[in-house]
Structure 1
Amino acid sequence: MFEGVYPALITPFKDNSQKDLDLEGLESNIEYLISCGVHGIVPCGSTGESATLTFEEHETVIEKAVEVADGRVPVLAGTGSNNTVEAVRFTKAAKDIGADGVLVLSPYYNKPNRSGLVKHYNILADLDIPVVVYNIPGRTGQNLAADLIIELAQHPNIVAVKEASGNIEQMSRIIEGTQDLDFSLLSGDDGLTLPILALGGKGVISVTANIAPKLMVQLYEQFKAGDIEGARKTHYKLAPLSRALFIETNPIPVKTASGLKGHAGGPVRLPLDEMAPNNLNTLKEVLKNYD
């Protein structure tokens, strides 16, 4: 259902007072990304600083994304929480607004047991909206094992997993175990997009696509067309940028890069802070190689 390149949108702010979304900037960013050929957009993920958005802001950002996309590309809205009741609230809101699906990270901090995870995801899937499970153990403190993902995939509304564990063998096992289902694996690490496509993955939810959307789309399209050598060259063209965008905690570098490239970025919200000067200089040097 969800395939191709989906930028994980940043949420532009006018200042860091936690009061002022830059909705005009968000609209401009989305229009730019769509013009570059991306296959969908993802508001309110970790790159969108969802952890520091109020519920009202969360809803407003999704509304704006749906409005601007206007059916041209799917909107996959982040609605995860470590509180199932809150995740239900976010997910119902996204469905009512008109999102095409929801991206739900594994509950963080709680470290739920297996039965709790299954119930959590099934409750959200029962709301009758396509659910993409988000496995990112570096942020949640808990890996979602392949056999758990395969079990969750049996629910008809759990349609994909965004895999950011970095474990290629685990991803291979998930794809192997869901081949007979209408289920996709999407890369959650830009640098692993090409090998994941080679395993049978269907695309990427990408930070790098905010800054180099045409190249990310090119990589995907080259692979789909069977131009493996071309895709490999594009992969290595993108590699320095993908590394630089994680030189500090995401989304600090990508918001900084967005501003440097003339797009809407604005500050990050505390407890995140601006880049260290040495890292900022590194990022500026890397960006010189990308139009």
Structure 2
Amino acid sequence: MTPSKDLGGVVVATALPYAEDASAPAGLRVDYDRYAEHCRWVVDSGCHGVGPNGSLGEYSSLNQEERRKVAQTAVATVGDRATVIVGVHAPCAHEARHWAELAAEDGADGLLCLPPTIYRANEGEILHHFEQVAAVGLPVMVYNNPIDTKVDLTPELIREIAEIDNVSAIKEFSGDVRRVLEIREQAPRVNVVAGADDVVLESLLMGAGGWFAGFPNVFPAESVRLYELARAGKVEEARALYEPLVAAFRWDSRTEFVQAIKRGMEIVGRFGGPCRPPRGPLPEEMLAQVDADLERAVKYLQGKEN
């Protein structure tokens, strides 16, 4: 398997396991051995890459030492056979560039970067942010997530960002599938990557060249199969696989997506475990709905195997 140089394919925004440890932040230490095993599993299952230190990887709950070691663990574990795209999200350009420089030093293949977090930046500030990150020299996947950042990277703005050297892809998480074609028209040089699992089929059929995904933490082989069917234009087969999974996939676009995906991992026999604050356990009613949606997906997939 040769990872795509345009940062495409199915790249897993990897969840991060913790072990109980009273001396660690919030009583939870990062379990690097278990994280390495998880990276191996998703790549062995056919995924084209991993994305450490994304939102799903709880980067904002890590201290600096932990955050760097997570990226180093991913590179050391699967970097010889899969793409490693390290999240360098930060409130300001100089901090994002710092994380980009460390990722380059540690052997990452590419960078995933939100616009400035916390602060609602204007267009000039956004361009400066990505210019600083791209100046490090690694391919950059710009991440549009207006739900969390309150900053919308519109297709018109993406056209300007795409002129920056080393910007090679856009992870589109607005939930508006119309954006795929609009971005391809405005910025044909960059690869549009599906970001929201619950519109992934629609995005791929409209020409997205990758999927930076949450639920391959739970269903890696099946997610790769869905991606391949969609990219091959096998619409009926893709729909037959997608429709039983999409209720589960919708949790990827909800505030509690980290807890839901970790719960899904446990349902399929993997280790999910707790989250660090501010994320806490799911309320009982919400947990029951997550279980119902995931178990429906699992039952469908088990039926296909039998």
Common fold: TM-score over 0.5: yes
Residue 39 to residue 92, structure 1, CA distance change in 2 (3 Å): same
Q: Matched residues in 2 for 1:248 and 1:164: separation?
A: 13
Are residue 95 (structure 1) and residue 100 (structure 2) matched? no
Counterpart Cα distance in 2 of 1:245 and 1:198: 19
Deviation of 1:97 (Å)? 0.4
CA distance in 2, matches of 1:29, 1:98: 19
- Aligned runs of 1:246-257 on 2, under 5 Å? 249-257=256-264
The worse-fitting range, judged by mean Cα deviation, of 25-34 and 243-252 is: 243-252
The CA deviation at 1:245 is: 5.1
Q: Is the 8 A contact 1:159 1:184 kept in 2?
A: yes
Maintained 8 Å contact 1:25/1:263: no
State whether residues 193 and 204 of structure 1, in contact with CA within 8 Å, keep that contact through their aligned partners in structure 2: yes
List alignment gaps of at least 5 residues for structure 2. 1-5
Query: Over the residues paired in the alignment, what is the CA RMSD in angstroms?
Result: 1.6
Q: Judging changes above 3 Å, is the alpha-carbon distance between structure 1 residues 248 and 140 closer, same or farther for their aligned structure 2 residues?
A: closer
User: 1:285 deviation in Å?
Assistant: 2.7
Q: CA deviation at 1:178?
A: 2.1
Q: Which residue of 1 aligns with 2:9?
A: 4
Q: Which residue of 2 aligns with 1:200?
A: 207
Aligned pair 1:258/2:242, yes or no?
no
Residues 9 and 210, structure 1, Cα contact 8 Å, conserved in 2: yes
Match of 1:140 in 2: 149
C-alpha distance in structure 1 between counterparts of 2:250 and 2:149, whole Å: 21
Unpaired runs of at least 5, structure 1: none
* Aligned twin of 1:80: 89
- Conserved? CA contact 1:92–1:127, under 8 Å: yes
2:115 is equivalent to residue 110 of structure 1: no
| Count of residue correspondences | 289
Superposed CA deviations along residues 89-127 of structure 1, whole A, max 9, x for unmatched, are 111111100010010011122111111111110111011
Instruction: Classify the secondary structure of the residue corresponding to 1:51.
Output: helix
Do the aligned residues in 1 keep the contact of 2:115 with 2:129 (CA within 8 Å)?
Answer: no
TM-score scaled by length of structure 2: 0.90
Matching residue of 1:168: 177
Secondary structure at the residue paired with 1:28? helix
3-state DSSP class of the match of 1:251? helix
Amino acid at match of 2:66: E
- The TM-score normalised by the length of structure 1 is 0.94
Q: How does 1:10-159 map to 2 (within 5 A)?
A: 10-15=15-20, 17-18=24-25, 20-159=29-168
Q: Which has the higher contact order (CA 8 A, sep 6+)?
A: 1
Q: Separation in 1 of the partners of 2:54 and 2:252? A: 16
Q: Which runs of 4+ in 1 moved over 3 A?
A: 244-248
* Percentage of matched positions with identical amino acids: 29
Q: How far 1:262 sits from its partner (Å)?
A: 2.6
Partner residue of 2:243 out of 210, 233, 236: 236
Question: Structure 1 residues 31 and 56 mapped into 2: Cα distance closer, same or farther (>3 Å)?
Answer: same
